[in-house]
Structure 1
């Protein structure tokens, strides 16, 4: 799959949700995984589109896991002429503290909160007004099902979201892409990803949901596209409304 397909998906998401405006200074949250590495490159190319006038940089929050391949990320950024900032932290040390462990495992939610705090602070220091995340359509569907199962709410993340406390927008330019498409593009275009070193990798609720949905898609292939399309199909949302039903509406 050609990288042009990614640029089309970004352009469509930008058109539909108003993700990128003239004069924006955008920081890509660069984890080192395939999604964020592809987004970093693609947004660098998207800068060259007619009428697109925005600045771009990448921020990697170094949690402190051993053997993380920083040099690969640095070489990657240099290869594409992209500005990358690596913020070293003691987050892993904090997560390993006995009072922060849950059933002997580090807490994903605490890790995410701490990383987000560092990310936003660095983005602010660099004069950024938006942070771009590498979440794709499959991530959105997984979040929807996780919220219904564990939170009894029908909700997923938004393509663009204003964080009032930090006065910063979060944008997700890859929401129209599937994970399989991203895998294909990164392989065909030799876009690397850093080997995962998180001890929780592969043992999370999200991983369980991913595997459950894969089984569902194998039996009902059309469900994959339909689930992603349904996230913006607001005209056909029909849920129970107790007050309206009591009033005969």
Structure 2
């Protein structure tokens, strides 16, 4: 008679068995496609306490366990001012899932609450800086965040609809303020629905953002409140009803941007207006003209 699996063992097995196609395979695909991890890396996996960062931590543990190219992991939790019950939930989930977390404190929530315009943007930037600093202090050369495919697409729509720009969230980037540090997003090819399914299958309850602004959104009758990102999430959900492949199409589109068709673009912070961009392109081929 086989023994009953512990919650940790069940969660780990479901990652590479039941949800192999939805979680493990796209996670590995992102790591390889975007060259996110190299032998000898020391990576700080940043855990907010939510479902995304927790599943990232477990996937990174599994990869470390099975890879032939060794790398080190630190599981970093920043407490930006959580209520005691919320911090306790993070610690309980980490223990339940076998994630050895390192916790440090900051006053980000207190600062963000004082700002009326774009408090979430300020909070995100401050979090990033604190995480880079602590990770570097612990000898890490990379931080890993739990942004997934759905975040990527929502960010693309936000930029188009509200930022007047065509841009998206890259799978990795170098830090400007912390030389030698990189940010990686190993869940880049993982859909949020798969993370939710894994969470529910294992009967797990994770922390939400746990700040006043999120509580206002959750209490709004339309489910959006002041969150434009939530608005994009709901928009994509509606569009999928008539076009089930819309997210796949968008994801492919950001990998195949046709700069030759744009009247202007930016590269490395420099803007190229139409006349300069036009001259750089030179003469178009008959095939190009036919396509346009």
TM-score (norm 2): 0.76
Q: 1:13 to 1:188 in 2, by over 3 A?
A: same
Maintained 8 Å contact 1:14/1:20: yes
| Aligned twin of 2:250 | 227
Q: 1:87 to 1:134 in 2, by over 3 A?
A: same
Q: 1:170 to 1:68 in 2, by over 3 A?
A: farther
- 1:33 to partner: Cα distance: 0.9
Candidates 28, 32, 35, aligned match of 1:15: 32
Candidates 212, 226, 241, aligned match of 1:199: 212
Residue 33 (1) aligns with residue 33 (2) = no
The higher-RCO structure (CA 8 Å, 6+ apart) is: 1
Q: CA–CA distance in 1 between the matches of 2:135 and 2:238?
A: 39
Alignment of 1:134-153 (within 5 A): 134-153=146-165
Q: CA–CA distance in 1 between the matches of 2:101 and 2:199?
A: 19
**Pair member with larger Rg:** 2
| Aligned twin of 1:181 | 194
Maintained 8 Å contact 1:68/1:195: no
Q: CA–CA distance in 1 between the matches of 2:46 and 2:122?
A: 17
Maintained 8 Å contact 1:138/1:178: yes
Q: CA–CA distance in 2 between the matches of 1:237 and 1:12?
A: 26
- 1:117 to partner: Cα distance: 1.6
| Aligned twin of 2:232 | 209
Maintained 8 Å contact 1:24/1:130: yes
Q: For the aligned residues, what is the CA RMSD? A: 2.2
Count of aligned pairs between the two proteins: 243
Q: CA–CA distance in 2 between the matches of 1:149 and 1:78?
A: 41
Q: CA–CA distance in 2 between the matches of 1:231 and 1:48?
A: 32
Residue 77 (1) aligns with residue 77 (2) = no
TM-score (norm 1): 0.88
Q: 1:221 to 1:238 in 2, by over 3 A?
A: farther
- 1:91 to partner: Cα distance: 1.8
Alignment gaps of 5+ in structure 1: none
Maintained 8 Å contact 1:30/1:58: yes
Q: CA–CA distance in 2 between the matches of 1:46 and 1:191?
A: 22
Alignment gaps of 5+ in structure 2: 1-12, 218-225, 264-273, 285-292
Q: 1:238 to 1:216 in 2, by over 3 A?
A: farther
Candidates 84, 101, 125, aligned match of 2:116: 101
- 1:81 to partner: Cα distance: 3.5
Q: CA–CA distance in 2 between the matches of 1:238 and 1:179?
A: 33
| Aligned twin of 1:3 | 15
Q: CA–CA distance in 2 between the matches of 1:238 and 1:143?
A: 23
Q: CA–CA distance in 1 between the matches of 2:67 and 2:45?
A: 21
Q: CA–CA distance in 1 between the matches of 2:160 and 2:75?
A: 33
Greater shift, 86-95 or 22-31, is seen at 86-95
Q: CA–CA distance in 2 between the matches of 1:116 and 1:32?
A: 15
Q: CA–CA distance in 2 between the matches of 1:136 and 1:36?
A: 10
Residue 110 (1) aligns with residue 127 (2) = no
Q: 1:154 to 1:58 in 2, by over 3 A?
A: same
